[in-house]
Amino acid sequence: MRILSILPVCGVVVAWFTCAMLLAEDVSPVESSEVLSAAQHTATKKEMFSIKSDPFGLIWNRLKPALDADNFQVINQGVLQLETLMVSAGVRSLDDYALVLVAKGEHQLASRNRDTAHFYLRKAYQLSPESPVVLYRSLNLASETGYRSKLAQWRRIIASALRTPELLFQVPVVLIYPLLWAATLGLFCALALLFSLRTDEILRRVARILPKRSRGYLTPLVVILCLVAPLSLGPLWTVAMWTLILFVCLPRYRWLGMIGGTVLAIWGFVIPLKENISLWLQDPAVKIMLRLAISSHGPQDIQELEGLASRRLGSDGLVYYLLGDLSRRYGMYEEAEEYFAKVGPSLASDPRIPAQLALITFARGDNERAKELFLEAEEKGLESAPLYYNLSKVYFELLDTKSSREAITKARRIDPSLVAQFEKREETLGLRASSSFSGFEVPVLQLFRSSLVPMPGAREHYTEVAEKLMWPFSPFGIAVVGVALFLCFFAVSPEKQRRLETYYLGYTVPAAQRRLTSLIPGGGFAVSGRPVWCFLGVSAVALSLFPLLGWPNEVVELFTVFPSASQVAFVIASVVFSIVYVASFLGKKESE
Amino acid sequence: MHTGSLTPDNFSQVLRGLSQKRKSGTLEVVRGEEKFTVVFFQGKILEAFRNDFTPTAQLVETLVKSGFVASGEFQLEALPANYSELFGVLQSSGTSGHLFDEDMYRQIVRHRVMQQLYNLPIDQGSFYNFRNEVRSVERELLPSISVGQLLLDLVELSEERAAFQEQFGAQPFLHRTQTTTEEALSDDAFLLLNSLRSEVSLFDMRESGLLNEFALRDAVDELQAKGLVERKAGDSRSAKCSHITTEETSNDLSGEASDQEPLAAFEADQGSVDQLMQFLEDSIDQNFSVDELAGQRSNAQNGVVSESQSESIVTSVEPKLSIDSARSEQGEEVVHRSSSYLQSRLLHQSWVPEMVSLVLLGASVLLPLLFWKEVFSIFG
């Protein structure tokens, strides 16, 4: 029965996770023609910008007439040129162009030109072999053209999504408010039902506190005031006050109180994080940072990043690190060294800095110094395939073949595919070409630190949200209230001396009220004295109902991207509703 | 099982033995026809009672003697078997059971047990019998008395009993003065003061067992020092005459006639008590007003209500009013207990939790719709 109760929560979370993961990529609507026109529009803008600086845009513009005419030979050559350029520039993915090709493929599939559709799909994968967005958008196309089964395609989508650092931020940002609201509403319902079913106990407890001479009149008034007044102040006030009442009057249900305190504390901690990260993710330069983390970049990105560095007034060391990395990739070594010198204390001791400087030194021909810097990076704890691969090249130049062999063996042991990929580049581009050096992945921890650096206006924004939720508290105040309530859990003992109860002894919960409560999904748990399970059940139902209600905002985004998601949401809500209802019914029967 | 004869010489040894070995069980003390039971739990005394009546019956006897409960209000056979149920019955009985609360009730139980222990027969010719057993008792309500404390009390009692008798013999009546005090009273003094309705014989008070002898003496001293009561000299013989014997109380409990006039009046109305209570409850629920209740009473006298109801009102309510009138005549401040009674009744009405529950559920549905819109609008 308990497993049954957990299932809906897990199911809803997984469903949300999947949706959020897909939402995470900032993509345009799914309609093929719209994608095509959007991508073409983007390409036009790119063309305007990149006449001088973007070689990809130049090739793509030459390719567009061929795409309109379905000239496969020209398209093939153009894609090959783009692919070669990607290798030489160290770019892993060209999502915009790949999506246009996928849209063309879907158009051909709709016209029942299966082979043509298959061709466009292959070309799209050449440009973006590991992009989760391209893989997801081509899900139907891949299965219909027989390129790959849906199951295999889903596996690739999930695997590639897990390698995308942007998702590490987008998924929690999309999930957190719906989860917290579901928990808050679950708590609200569980507490309301519990109090309504244990009113006599609350009245008795309050009666003991009140003066003897007037407790008969005052008790119901005080109880009603304490229970009803917080409702006019907002949901978090209600949860906080009711949790306190729970600890005082019904200490044997203190676990629910602990959950109440925890949820409030999470609200307090999460509001600033969520709001700041949301603003951070909206910054165009941050999008570039996240692309750079998977080595997807262009020379124009330097300008955007410089803008970001000036906006953050040097407080974000990661921006300088990425600027240095990007400058190095494009051969601007002096600028790169300047940027690496500005990374600040958070990254100054990072082993990637000497490793990056070693790459610059090696590119300039100072092999001995490059070796020293690589070894310094190794001493500081960097033991990765790129380090050993690059170090083997340095040893090779120093004619230390034994050490070179040892280093390349270590690199192969850690990541054989990466070594094979760069060996291929080295053959094509030469030993000292910047693209034949293996770059160093941006550490997720540094990305997280960067996301925590306050964005302009974030403080005002999250303070306003917190005050709307629980006036007059700031997020810090909400967190303090939550932590205080959480600590009450340890201060309250359910094993208090049993008292002789004398008041309201003739009261039993009316049968009609019990039946009505049981009709609520999860209400059966409340009737059987399991408010924590009631909380879980109601939270799961609330979470599954959010997509149907179109609330909160994240759900609206979901339907914007996936118009057909309403049917899926309805099915999920029905299943969750049924499971919770059956589980609570069984729980009630079991207690009887 | 331990058995043997019980004498003043070995009494201490027997009790200490049970205490030191942390025994749990029942000690029966028999002298002739009298039989007493003392319940031990892990070497501590929880309960003591005569075997002729149940502990609850003996408690009711104490309450009747001390005036908290009207004589004839309870049928002996119908008394609950345990203290907590008895308290519930007393609270809902409506006459004067509402005058004490849970803590006071626990205090009375403790005093009764202590007094029973002081009265244990340990003269020549007594026998004891201890059985190891775990007896089901209401530990949350009963006292936990150490044997050491009991023995010390007994020694002091035997030493000072004569002086106590002499002191009380000279001024055997307690009279409640009109003085009020802002100072806090001890629990025992408060209990004693609450039980004083008019002039009461100290012998009656002592024999009632409401407070044990030590507590009674201390409480009287405290009340006297604060000017709340005064001792009065009087005919000690009349005081002794007013003492209600156990046998008489037993008769009261069983509903038989007594030569005590007020008690007889209550007993005469025994048949109509239930009707009276029903009528009172109905009228309280409907009106919440003493005046309106009085109005109904006059209506009843005018024949508006049924004959049986009017009869019960006249016979049962009037004595209370006459006490108040008497107090007024004596210049005392008359405290109408109707307010206290009403609020006490409210604490036992089922519709109160039902109403609170309904209000809570209604507010939980409606108020979020009214007040949370702005909050929801931020997120969606």
**Read out DSSP for A380-430?**
TT---HHHHHHHHHHHHHTT-HHHHHHHHHHHHHH-HHHHHHHHHHHHHH-
Q: Profile chain A (592 residues) by mean pLDDT over runs of 10 residues.
A: 50 52 40 37 38 72 88 89 78 84 91 90 88 86 89 87 80 89 96 94 89 86 95 94 94 94 96 91 83 70 80 77 85 89 83 91 90 92 88 90 92 86 75 72 80 86 91 94 95 66 79 91 91 95 90 77 74 92 86 74
Beta-carbon separation of A216 and B346 below 8 A: yes
Beta-carbon separation of A235 and B368 below 8 A: yes
Any A CB within 8 A of B380 CB:
yes
Residue ranges with strand state E in chain B: 2-6, 25-31, 34-41, 44-50, 126-132, 173-176, 200-201, 229-232
**Best mutation site among B140, B347, B365, B369 for testing chain A: the one with the most A CBs within 10 Å?**
B347
Chain B residues with CB-CB distance to A504 below 8 A: 347-350, 352-353
Give the sign of the dihedral formed by CA A329, CA A330, CA A334, CA A340: negative
Q: Report whether A96 contacts A64 (CB < 8 A).
A: no
**Best mutation site among B187, B360, B372 for testing chain A: the one with the most A CBs within 10 Å?**
B360
The shortest CB-CB distance from B88 to any of A468, A502, A508 is to A502
Beta-carbon separation of A552 and B380 below 8 A: yes
Q: Report whether B278 contacts B308 (CB < 8 A).
A: no
The shortest CB-CB distance from B353 to any of A214, A497, A504 is to A504
Beta-carbon separation of B352 and A214 below 8 A: no
Chain A residues with CB-CB distance to B374 below 8 A: 468
In a 13 Å sphere around the CA of B49, the CA atoms on its Cβ side amount to: 19
Chain B residues with CB-CB distance to A556 below 8 A: 380
Chain B residues with CB-CB distance to A234 below 8 A: 371-372, 375
Beta-carbon separation of B357 and A199 below 8 A: yes
Name the residue of chain A whose CA is nearest to B376's CA. Answer: A552
Give the minimum alpha-carbon distance from B293 to chain A in angstroms, rounded to a whole number.
18
Sort A501 into a burial class: Cβ within 10 Å, 0-12 / 13-18 / 19+: middle
Sort B252 into a burial class: Cβ within 10 Å, 0-12 / 13-18 / 19+: buried
- Put simply, the chain B residues between 102 and 131 with a CB less than 8 A from any chain A CB are 102, 105-106
What is the second-level CATH architecture of the domain A28-163? Answer: Alpha Horseshoe (1.25)
Chain A residues with CB-CB distance to B105 below 8 A: 500
How much is the pLDDT for B205? 74
Report the DSSP beta bridge partners of residue B45. B40, B145
Q: Profile chain B (380 residues) by mean pLDDT over runs of 10 residues.
A: 79 86 89 86 88 82 76 69 80 58 82 85 81 79 86 77 67 72 75 73 74 79 80 51 34 36 38 46 44 40 39 35 41 46 77 94 93 87
The shortest CB-CB distance from B374 to any of A212, A468, A497 is to A468
Chain A residues with CB-CB distance to B141 below 8 A: 500
Beta-carbon separation of A215 and B347 below 8 A: yes
Any A CB within 8 A of B326 CB:
no
Residues of chain A with CATH 1.25.40.10: 295-452
Counting one residue from chain A and one from chain B, the pairs whose CB atoms sit within 8 A come to 130
Beta-carbon separation of B375 and A468 below 8 A: yes
How much is the pLDDT for A14? 54
How much is the pLDDT for B377? 87
Give the minimum alpha-carbon distance from B50 to chain A in angstroms, rounded to a whole number.
24
How much is the pLDDT for A451? 86
Chain A residues with CB-CB distance to B356 below 8 A: 199, 202-203, 220, 223-224, 227
Name the residue of chain B whose CA is nearest to A177's CA. Answer: B379
How far apart CA A92 and CA A130 sit, in angstroms, is 8
Does the domain spanning A295-452 belong to CATH 3.30.1050.10? no
Name the residue of chain A whose CA is nearest to B374's CA. Answer: A468
**Best mutation site among B187, B339, B352 for testing chain A: the one with the most A CBs within 10 Å?**
B352
Residue B234 structure tokens:
């009087």
Any A CB within 8 A of B331 CB:
no
Helix (H) or strand (E) holding B69: none
How far apart CA A536 and CA A513 sit, in angstroms, is 21
The shortest CB-CB distance from B360 to any of A227, A499, A502 is to A227
Q: Report whether B157 contacts B213 (CB < 8 A).
A: yes
Any A CB within 8 A of B323 CB:
no
How far apart CA A264 and CA A183 sit, in angstroms, is 10
Model ipTM value: 0.75
- A428-451 burial, b at 16+ Cβ within 10 Å, e below that, comes to ebeeeebbbbbbbebbeebbeebb
How much is the pLDDT for A495? 60
Beta-carbon separation of B348 and A506 below 8 A: yes
Give the minimum alpha-carbon distance from B240 to chain A in angstroms, rounded to a whole number.
36
Residue B281 structure tokens:
């409850």
Amino acid at position A206, single letter: V
Beta-carbon separation of A224 and B359 below 8 A: yes
Q: Report whether A221 contacts A202 (CB < 8 A).
A: no
How far apart CA A536 and CA A528 sit, in angstroms, is 14
The shortest CB-CB distance from B360 to any of A217, A219, A228 is to A228
How far apart CA B83 and CA B105 sit, in angstroms, is 9
Beta-carbon separation of B347 and A216 below 8 A: yes
Any A CB within 8 A of B343 CB:
yes
Any A CB within 8 A of B369 CB:
no
Beta-carbon separation of B343 and A216 below 8 A: yes
How much is the pLDDT for B304? 39
How much is the pLDDT for A437? 75
Name the residue of chain B whose CA is nearest to A201's CA. Answer: B353
Any A CB within 8 A of B345 CB:
yes
